[in-house]
Amino acid sequence: MASTTASIVPTRSEVLWLFRSLLRTARQFTDYNVREYTKCRTVDGFRQNRTLTDRDALASAFSYGKAQLEIAKRQAIVYSLYAPKVKSIMDIKP
Amino acid sequence: MASKLLASASSTLRKTLSTKPNPQHFLCRLSSSSSAAAVAADPSPADSYEDANGITMKGVRISGRPLYLDMQATSPVDPRVLDAMLPYYLSRYGNPHSRTHLYGWESENAVETARSQIAAIIKASPKEIVFTSGATESNNISVKGVMHFYKDKKRHVITTQTEHKCVLDSCRHLQQEGFDVTYLPVGSDGIIDLHALRSAIRPDTGLVSVMAVNNEIGVIQPMEEIGSICKEFNVPFHTDAAQALGKIPIDVEKWNVSLMSLSGHKIYGPKGVGALYMRRRPRIRVEPQMNGGGQERGIRSGTVPTPLVVGFGAACELAMREMEYDEKRIRALQERMLNRIREKLDGVVVNGSEERRYVGNLNLSFAYVEGESLLMGLKEVAVSSGSACTSASLEPSYVLRALGVDEDMAHTSIRFGIGRFTTEAEIDKAVELTVERVEKLREMSPLYEMVKEGINIKDIQWAQH
């Protein structure tokens, strides 16, 4: 699978779709720390790869991001299954 | 319950304060009342109780789950690590040592992949990695196993006073068997003196064991220099790198280590798994602690736990990819925390070297505040006074004592552990709560009042009780 996607350079709209999907999935995490980390890591990761021009580097960054999105989707479900009844104090509005 | 006890303790304090008591008496009473609260709130399972409005446990009521700043004790499992592990808890449950069916083969492949992932992060060969149950077991195999194997010629071990308990206890065990152990002292910054190490080496020295990053104070020892001294005298060098793995760059060739202990749960991996690096050239040999089916080349018999090992491998690969990013973030958070606390409080001391330390560890002493009462008051922040193994006792940490920290300052230490999942908002909240609590305790402290009046506490002649 990696070999077929490795050479295909993602379009601008595909990259934006990945970015939005990652942020949307991040918001679904019940755990405060994982949610904030996923948001922050997504933004920083896209910012860091903004200047990529090499075709192979672009393709591999995109396929890595897609794999991360799949993990995030699965784990958001797992976390929601075992969410503690009590929220983190960071999630409780004073 | 505990808050009630504390409230009553503080009301007696106020009463005793107005009658001008002996300040030491005050401190005794405070610490005894906090331990009394801990005993009174002894947890029977029925005692802990959780609903949507909060948790009650050990007599303490908390409205939400505390923010976690104890990354040196253990770290949360990264969701990406859990994602790699779950398949091996579901359909892929084979024993990696089964040679006759697919279940065994796929597990074995997964274990070998993990072995290469772990080898890659420390720049070793996969053949040099042995899976264990954790860094404690790896340390035991290293210290006792090496000395037992070479016991005919080598009778001497060198270690440091600030090692982890399991290394010190293994050394004590060796002493009972008649081996000699040298416990090297450390400077006030927590770093060993290389000249002292050099002069401590004897012809019958069989092992030098120095931890890379200290678990309590986060100090990084000069590994390359120690390694080159060991090479010069041809002494095997063991290091406990549980706190260093994935946080500082590790290279077994540069460090010239013969043995290295690694742990999974300090790098966002699962608990209950670790590894031991054992050099092949020149070969180091150990006497196994566990005998049995001969797994892991006979060094550690017992079925290798595939899901845990897969998680450990995934955590290592992730740590390698994320080390630079994490370091940058954690450094910013640590600086933010230290600067904000220093802005608002005086008498705050960083324990251990400030330059040569892992950035995720901030061990602070707050002068004129009793550590246990500070920890009890900070129930919305999960921190500890030192290592998890010894934080239950009211004794000050032996690591801080080895640094030469005064008894009163050693009692007031708090270790803030910052990690991959710590946020800026959490740091701000922790600072706010800590500052508030320290100010409150200082307000009650006659010692602090006396210092404000310009009395040097060290000159006071305390009355005997």
Question: Is-catalytic flag, B171?
Answer: no
Check pLDDT > 60 for residue B37.
no
Give the model's pLDDT for residue B464.
66
> Strand, helix or coil at B266?
coil
Q: What is the pTM of this model?
A: 0.87
Q: Does residue A91 sit in helix, strand or coil?
A: helix
Three-state DSSP state, B232: helix
With tokens 């505390």, the residue in question is B66
Q: Hey, what amino acid is at B184?
A: L
How many A×B Cβ pairs under 8 Å?
69
Distance CA B264, CA B303 (A): 17
Select the residue of B65, B82, B420 nearest A86 (Cβ to Cβ). B65
**ipTM surpassing 0.90, yes or no?**
yes
Residues B334, B359: contact at Cβ < 8 Å? yes
Could you tell me if B421 lies within 8 Å of chain A, comparing CB atoms? Answer: yes
**Listed residue (B161, B248, B251, B253) closest to B209, CA to CA:** B161
B68 near A CB under 8 A: yes
Hey, is the C-beta of B67 within 8 angstroms of any chain A C-beta? yes
Please determine, for residue B199, whether its predicted confidence score (pLDDT) is greater than 90.
Answer: yes
Say if the Cβ atoms of A89 and B65 lie within 8 Å. yes
Please give the pLDDT value at position B11.
46
**Interfacial B residues in 34-53 facing A (CB < 8 Å):** 50-53
pLDDT in tens, B396-446: 889 999 999 988 888 888 999 999 999 999 999 999 999 999 999 999 888
Per-residue pLDDT tens for A42-88? 999 999 999 999 999 999 999 999 999 999 999 999 999 999 989 99
Q: How far is A57 from chain B (nearest CA, A)?
A: 15
In chain B, pLDDT over 90 holds for what percent of residues? 73
CA distance B240 to B245: 10
b vs e for B299-333, b when ≥16 Cβ sit within 10 Å of the residue's Cβ? bbeeebbbbbbbbbbbbbbbbeebbeebbebbeeb
pLDDT digits (tens, 9 = 90+) for B359-392: 999 999 999 888 888 888 898 999 988 766 555 5
Q: Which of B55, B79, B425 sits opposite A71 (nearest CB)?
A: B79
For residue B190, give every residue at least 6 positions away whose Cβ sits within 8 Å of its Cβ, in sequence order, or none: B162, B214, B217, B219, B351, B352, B353, B399, B402, B403
Number of other residues whose CB lies within 10 A of the CB of residue A30:
17
